[in-house]
Amino acid sequence: MLKPDGAAAGCDNGGSELSRRIGELERQVRLVIREKDEEGHTLLKVPLFSSAVAAGVPSLASCDVEDTMEIPSAWSHGRKNLFAVRVQGESMLDAGIMPGDRLLVEATQSARDLQIVIASVNGELTVKKLNIARDGSVMLEPQNSAYEPIAITPEMDFRILGVVLAALRQY
């Protein structure tokens, strides 16, 4: 069972480092800056975090901002808590998310069934499709048959950190 803060019930408080890093992430995503380009269009500068998020086996990511990513403000649809991460791994290929892509993410602690999310599972970050069954059980599903889903159990420290809005690829 999930506690209101997104943590799994029955977990110990050994996640203080994770909580500190999540707090730092929340502080940094408020750094979205608005600017105008030469033609007067409003651009947003979104923080791009230096560690890649796993699209495969979850991996620990840091909260260090590497750079900013400029996007047209219309892409945000008025959302203010935006951040970006790079993708590492191939578990989301069938969703069109490739290694090296940058994901535009809305920082939020909740998500709807079948949304693609950035989640923390026992302190490890991953990008997967959220699947909430009618009985309330939760799975994080890869979008590549070569990978196994992650069944979320009450013993796990599980948190949703954001919902993926877009995957951006540079050639």
91, 110, 129, 145: the active-site residue: 91
76, 120, 128, 129: the active-site residue: 128
Task: Evaluate whether 117 touches 95 at the Cβ level (below 8 Å).
Answer: no
**Residue 74 to residues 12, 78, 139, 155, 168, Cα–Cα distance (Å):** 42, 8, 32, 40, 15
Instruction: Tell me if residue 137 is catalytic.
Output: no
Structure tokens at 108: 């939020």
Cα separation, 37 vs 141, in Å, equals: 39
Contacts of 17 (CB under 8 A, 6+ apart): 123
Radius of gyration, CA atoms only, the chain: 16
Instruction: Tell me if residue 128 is catalytic.
Output: yes
Beta bridge pairs of residue 84: 48, 104
Cα separation, 148 vs 150, in Å, equals: 7
Catalytic residues: 91, 128
